Amino acid sequence: MRLAAVTIGRSDTALGALYRRLAARAGKAKAVTAPARKIAVLFYTTLQRGMTYKDPGASHYKERYRNRVLGKLKRRAKPFGYDLQELPPDADMAVS
């Protein structure tokens, strides 16, 4: 499963995006464990229940991760009296 996780890290799938995100943060040796476990769980579930797996894709994974991080930031800022709002896409990031 670990070999499959390393290989899937180069693909444009949700598991590949997970591997790349973890590899950037913790290193490739440690990052291989989480996708390998997910592959094992998917394999077992497929054998046990006969489900079919449809990969949502890397963009879907990245969007879910982004929403999760933004939600956490908003919850953490609220007790300090801040209300976070997203900038429009064309907003200049330079601070004057």
Closest Cα partner for 23 from 35, 12, 11, 13? 35
Q: Look at residue 70 and give its three-state secondary structure.
A: helix
Quick: pLDDT tens for 62-96: 899 999 999 999 999 999 999 988 888 776 665 55
Residue 51 has pLDDT above 90, yes or no: no
Q: What is the pTM of this model?
A: 0.65
The percent of residues in the chain predicted with pLDDT above 90, rounded, is 43
For the chain, report the end-to-end CA distance as a whole number of angstroms.
51
